A and B are shown apart, each in its own frame.
Chain A
Amino acid sequence: MAQGGNPTRAEELSGGGLFKVLAGKLSEVLTEISESSPLRYAVNWARLYSLWPVHITTACCSAEFGAMMGPRYDPERFGIQMVAGSLRQCDLLIVEGTVTKKMAARLKIIYDQMPAPRYVIAMGDCACSGGLFYNSYSTLPLDALIPVDVYVPGCPPSPQALLDGILKLQEMIRKGRVNPLKIEPVASA
């Protein structure tokens, strides 16, 4: 192994690199198979009932998120639990509140750490469009940074409205494609 620098191509192929290339090919083939067969419904079904959320709290919407996670609305009925110890086990990012320019870099880091089938909910007005701070010098709308799947307006949205947003996201996953890089948003009714 070359010390300090990046490993060369030959070293990459001889070591773990070859395995990575093979695994990448295998996953490509598997997604091709699952895309073009009824298997994709099974994959989507498994995905939509095991959404593990990570929430990035910057404003008051987190109180409503806490209320939604409680026993009165009980999102565990839909397989949504706060069980993850790490961002790499999560696949749903709920952004609650204002995204300032300083927070944007941290948000990007969090988003990049999550593995590929990941979905984003913009909760509240601040995340949807900037909200009350829409003409501030330091805020950004969320969809200028990362692709957003579902917008939940409200200031803050009630727990039932957030749950409605999550149900709409599950509907989108059910109709969507397996390969997350090619997901097309479903036209809303």
Chain B
Amino acid sequence: LLKPIVSGIRQAFRKRMTFEYPTVKLGLPPRFRARHYLYMDRCTGCGICAWICPEKCISIVQFGDEGRKFPQFYYGRCCFCHFCVDYCPKDALAPTDDYELAAYDQESLVFSPDRLAQPPKEVKRAVYLRISGDSVFHEEKK
């Protein structure tokens, strides 16, 4: 009879599991793959990223006054395999942790080079909670 009461009381003093998402953001695992960041000064427009992309979501477009060529991403099809990051000979593409890509229409899923070159907002992320018995996939180093 006492068992459920005791476990209920123990539950009340536990740490809270829920993250209040829009205000508190959960820490991400290392090498988390989300939107790309484009270094416009390094990119040569060789097109290897468009060639290696398994879903062919990258198209090479002319951009800017000088008419240089840059990749353009259509995130409605990108599967975030980041082959393009691995294969880039100049390391012009880099992964960021900006995963909030939800949009109201298809046009805003297309990321032109200048949108890719914008650095993501720096967000404070909460440290992943260690709860006894749970497996922990990430703990932030201090």
The bracket for how many chain A residues form the interface is 20 to 34
Q: Which of A128, A163, A168, A187 contacts B76 (CB 8 A)?
A: A128
Q: 0/1 per residue, B22-34, Cβ < 8 Å to A?
A: 1001100000000
How many chain-B residues does the 8 Å CB contact rule pick out? 28
Asked if B109 CB lies within 8 Å of chain A CBs, one says yes
| A13 → B minimal CB distance (Å) | 43
Q: Is the beta-carbon distance between B55 and A134 smaller than 8 angstroms?
A: yes
- A132 interface residue, CB < 8 Å from B? yes
Q: Are A188 and B103 in contact (CB under 8 A)?
A: yes
B101 within 8 A of A: yes
B12 at the interface (CB under 8 A from A): no
Closest-CB distance, B56 to chain A (whole angstroms): 8
A-B contact count (CB 8 A): 92
Which residue of chain A is the closest to B22 with respect to CB atoms?
A: A167
Is B109's CB under 8 angstroms from A154's CB? no
Q: Is B105 an interface residue (CB 8 A)?
A: yes
Does B105 contact A188, Cβ atoms closer than 8 Å? Answer: yes
- What's the nearest-Cβ distance from chain A to residue B1, in Å? 27
Chain B residues within 8 Å of A53, by CB:
none
Q: Does B132 contact A (CB under 8 A)?
A: no
**CA–CA, A155 to B80, complex, Å?**
7
B36 CB to nearest chain A CB (Å)? 13
8 A Cβ contacts from A25-60 to B: none
Question: Measured between alpha carbons, how far is A168 from B108 in the docked complex, in Å?
Answer: 14
Known: A125-B79, A130-B77, A157-B99. A150 touches B104 (CB 8 A): yes
Q: How many Å lie between the Cα of A167 and that of B80 in the bound state?
A: 23
Are B77 and A125 in contact (CB-based, < 8 A)?
yes
Which residues does chain A contribute within 8 Å of B19, judged by CB atoms?
A: 72-73
Q: Contact: B21 with A160, CB < 8 Å? A: yes
Chain A contacts for B103, CB-based, 8 A: 150-151, 153, 168, 188
Nearest CB on B from A99, distance (A): 14
Closest Cβ of chain B to A156, distance in Å, is 9
Within 8 Å of chain A (Cβ to Cβ): is B39? no
Does A180 lie at the interface of the complex (its beta carbon under 8 Å from any beta carbon of B)? no
Q: Given A73-B21, A128-B109, A155-B78, is A149 in contact with B55 using a C-beta cutoff of 8 Å?
A: no
- Residues of B at the A interface (CB closer than 8 Å) are 17-22, 25-26, 54-56, 74-80, 99-106, 108-109
List the 5 closest A-B pairs by CB distance, nearest first.
Answer: A165-B102, A155-B79, A128-B76, A129-B76, A153-B75
